[in-house]
Amino acid sequence: MSAEGHDHEHSHEHEHHHKDTFITKYIFSIDHKMIAKQYLITGIIMGVIGVVMSMLFRMQLAWPEESFKIFNVLLGDKWAPNGVMANDIYLALVTIHGTIMVFFVLTAGLSGTFSNLLIPLQIGARDMASGFLNMISYWLFFLSSVIMVSSLFVESGPANAGWTIYPPLSALPQAISGSGAGMTLWLVSMALFIAASLMGSLNYIVTVINLRTKGMSMTRLPLTIWAFFVTAIIGVISFPVLLSAALLLIFDRSFGTSFFLSDIYIAGEVLHYQGGSPVLFEHLFWFLGHPEVYIIILPALGITSEIIATNSRKPIFGYRAMIMSILAIAFLSTIVWGHHMFVSGMNPFLGSVFTFTTLLIAIPSAVKAFNYITTLWKGNLQLNPAMLFSIGLVSTFITGGLTGIILGDSTLDINVHDTYFVVAHFHLVMGISALYGMFAGIYHWFPKMFGRMLNKNLGYVHFWVTAVCAYGVFFPMHFID
Ligand code: CU
């Protein structure tokens, strides 16, 4: 039977009483399974854009003097005259790569896809609590993606202040090329993204609390759902703080306020700003920024729990310990943001407090890693592509996590601050790990989503090429500065 035939069957089970047109079925759908596919496809497109960007700026870094025709073809005469990349566009590519991968791929693409697909299916609900809100959430996310991508085409170039968009580069439109229209579009896009994310999260939370089938107590909830549920709660707590930071930035840029600016000179001219502080922005940014890494990794870990248990033919080891770990990680994630600001002039005592809370996260993280390994132990292992990606996740979560112990300690971190050690750490522990979780989920649930199997042999090639390249890129990166 064709894939389309399956789809018809599934949607008929759910909504046989109203007539679907092409638009209500595929575009403005309120069906969680269709919305999951929309998130997945948008996430993959954004992922391809983000990865291509990283290849371009790495080529520039590897051969800075070299001329590449591809730069000129993709970036045009303005940004790559004679095939040599201009400084501003290099920074812009790094900025938009980070933004797209963190938010659009590993937050919306991962959580959006699997929360939507699995929450109703695994708790025995007909659909999300509000299909309409779910649809609005996806389309706001889509709009924010379009705006972020369109910022690549503005005259003065896309935002290029880094994905953390610290002021003053983000607060003064005249600071550098990307501080102008590109930064405005970045802020508008992120504001919409956050609205979309909050609507999605509220929907997931309400669905899990209210729509569980009879007999499904919270202590029987699958670990995937626990992970999505807690992720949604972290999102609702921390994303509004970034929204407020973005709004205050817009005030500073457009209405002459100085929340984040103080005593600024541009080209010898004194600007009127006074009383604000860029460090305030750092606090607001990282109050989201740190929990964001758990918003990314928890769903991937949840997916992994199910796939490892299924393919070991055993229940997951330590179900309750896993829930406690998820809750502990969620709580701790909101009180550690200062570890991103050890060199911002922070009081050393406060630095040691943030060091302490940060290192505490090693405990629940290690509990999770041990439970995965003990689930695998003496299991009847089915090493299909989904399982390999899940085991790959456990591997990068451990290797990436170990360098987190160094970075979390303020006395050590100050020495490696602003080096590639940090970049290598977070790409392994959250970037690659979450990507593995996403691939694992796709292999595992593809038949459920699209009604056909993925080719296993291509899956093995996919895994081994990815695994070798990921360690090949990010392991040596620890040693350069
Ligand atoms: Cu952090």
- 351 CA to middle of ligand 1, Å? 13
pLDDT band at residue 21 using 50, 70 and 90 as cut-offs:
confident
- Judged against a pLDDT cut of 90, whether residue 184 lies above it is answered with yes
**Buried (b) or exposed (e) across 292-304, using 16+ Cβ within 10 A?**
bbbbbbbbbbbbb
The candidate with the shortest Cα–Cα distance to 230, out of 333, 134, 103, 153, is: 333
Q: What is the predicted pLDDT for the residue at 343?
A: 94
Residue with tokens 């600016």: 261
What spacing in Å lies between the alpha carbon of 242 and ligand 1's midpoint?
A: 15
Which residue, among 331, 124, 324, has the nearest Cα to 217 in the 3D structure?
Answer: 124
Q: What is the pLDDT of residue 271?
A: 87
Band (pLDDT 50/70/90 cuts) for residue 123 is very high
Task: Give 432-468 pLDDT, tens digit per residue.
Answer: 999 999 999 999 999 999 999 999 999 999 999 999 9
Question: Distance from the CA of 104 to the center of ligand 1, in angstroms?
Answer: 19
**Domain 293-481: assigned CATH number:** 1.20.210.10
Task: Kindly indicate the confidence band of residue 18, based on its pLDDT and cuts at 50, 70 and 90.
Answer: low
Task: Kindly state the average pLDDT of the residues 269-285.
Answer: 92
Q: What is the pLDDT of residue 9?
A: 47
- Residue 110: pLDDT above 80? yes
Q: How long a stretch of residues is the chain?
A: 481
C-alpha of 287 from chain center: 15
Distance, CA of 419 to chain centre = 22
Mean pLDDT of the chain: 93
211 DSSP assignment: -
Give the model's confidence band at 263: pLDDT under 50 very low, under 70 low, under 90 confident, else very high.
Answer: confident
**Bridge partners of 266?**
269
Which range has the worst mean pLDDT, 143-157, 225-239, 252-266?
Answer: 252-266
Long-range contacts of 372-376 (CB under 8 A, 24+ apart): 372/304, 372/305, 372/308, 372/317, 374/317, 374/318, 375/308, 375/309, 375/312, 375/314, 375/315, 375/316, 375/317, 376/308, 376/312
DSSP line for 156-192? T-B--STTTT-TTTTT-TTSSGGGTHHHHHHHHHHHH
29-276 under CATH 2.40.420.20, yes or no: no
Reply yes or no on whether the pLDDT at 14 is more than 70.
no
**Count of beta carbons in the 10 Å neighbourhood of residue 461:** 12
Q: What is the pLDDT of residue 16?
A: 52
Q: Which of 22-36, 87-101, 142-156, 203-217 has the lowest mean pLDDT?
A: 22-36
61 alpha carbon – ligand 1 mean position (Å): 26
State the residue for tokens 């709660």.
Answer: 233
Q: Does position 273 have pLDDT exceeding 90, yes or no? A: no
CA–CA separation, 358 and 294 (whole Å): 13
Ligand 1 centroid – CA 336 distance (Å): 7
Tell me the C-alpha distance between 235 and 229, whole Å.
Answer: 10
Q: How far is the CA of 216 from the centre of ligand 1 (A)?
A: 34
Mean pLDDT of all residues in 166-176:
92
Q: Is residue 223's pLDDT more than 90?
A: yes
CA proximity to 435, closest of 193, 107, 18: 107
pLDDT for residue 368: 96
pLDDT of the residue at 3: 44
Q: Indicate whether 141 pLDDT > 70.
A: yes
Q: Tens of pLDDT along 26-64?
A: 888 989 999 999 999 999 999 999 999 999 999 999 999
Taking the centre of ligand 1 as the mean of its atom positions, its distance from the CA of residue 50, in whole angstroms, is 22
339 CA → ligand 1 middle, Å: 6
What average pLDDT does range 378-406 have in this prediction?
Answer: 96
Centre of ligand 1 to C-alpha 183, Å, is: 24
Q: Which residues of 386-413 are buried (b: 16+ CB within 10 A; e: fewer)?
A: bbbbbbbbbbbbbbbbebbeebbbbeeb
The answer to whether the CB of 453 falls within 8 A of the CB of 382 is no
User: Between 349 and 271, whose confidence is greater?
Assistant: 349
What is the predicted pLDDT for the residue at 1?
36
Q: What angle do CA 94, 99, 327 make, to 5 degrees?
A: 130
Domain chopping of the chain, boundaries: 29-276, 293-481
Rg of the chain on CA atoms, in Å: 23
In angstroms, what is the span from residue 161 Cα to ligand 1's centroid?
19
CA distance 416 to 386: 35
Task: Note whether 29-276 and 293-481 share their fold.
Answer: yes
pLDDT of 114 higher than 60? yes
Q: In the structure, what pLDDT confidence band is assigned to residue 194 with cuts at 50, 70 and 90?
A: very high
Percentage of residues in the chain with pLDDT exceeding 90? 88
pLDDT over 70 percentage in the chain: 96
